[in-house]
Amino acid sequence: MSCKGLRVIKFPVHSKNFINNPGERLVNVTTQSPFRMTSQRQVILRELKKVNIHPTADDIYVMVRKIIPHVSLGTVYRNLEILSDMGVVQKLECAGNQRRYDGNPERHHHIRCIECGSVADVSPDMVTAFDFSPERIPSWHVVDHRVVFLGVCTACQAKEGGDLKA
């Protein structure tokens, strides 16, 4: 493996300054299993944080291979799952589409293009508050929620010859 110059660090789940806090123990909230921040995970995380296009695992694999030429696709998939479990990346699962990843672990909404499948962030200040109360869903214990808006991106609108809709 060609990861020269990278060091293994450990950091706590949901730490906003995880890169600046080496040496702290990382513990998965659900299983209490410690995870190490290996050099491969560092590269995967760093490459994911460089982009805001919400890439697929295959896209991330292509990016990481430029730095670690002999990394396998399986290694990238496994490490993305671990990074997701660690809470440092978001795994975006939209029905009928390939899983995508977001290097921003903070809670925010997304919009997915129904034509090409691209995903973009939706700033919280762009969305007015939803009238949602978990108590309104009888017989369920709600543990989380995600909002994904659907639309047609500007690139697909341009292909179709349409103008941006207000």
Q: Looking at residue 144, which CATH number applies to its domain?
A: 3.30.1490.190
Give 7-66 as a DSSP string: --B---TT-TTGGG-TTPPPB-TTT--B--B-HHHHHHHHHHHH--S--BHHHHHHHHHT
* Angstrom distance (rounded) from CA 11 to CA 124: 27
CATH code, 47: 1.10.10.10
pLDDT at 142: 85
pLDDT at 166: 46
pLDDT at 27: 38
Cβ atoms of 57 and 99 closer than 8 Å: yes
Q: Do 67 and 118 fall within a single domain? A: no
Residue 4 inside a domain? The answer is: no
Q: Which of 38, 68, 92 is the last residue of a domain?
A: 92
Residue 44 inside a domain? The answer is: yes
* Angstrom distance (rounded) from CA 32 to CA 24: 14
Containing structural domain, residue 61: 18-92
pLDDT at 69: 96
Residue segments in the chain with a per-residue pLDDT below the cut of 50: 1-33, 166
pLDDT at 164: 57
pLDDT at 8: 38
Q: Do 42 and 67 fall within a single domain? A: yes
* Angstrom distance (rounded) from CA 111 to CA 146: 11
Q: pTM of the full predicted structure?
A: 0.69
Q: Which residues contact 27 (CB under 8 A, 6 or more apart)?
A: 12, 13, 33, 34, 35
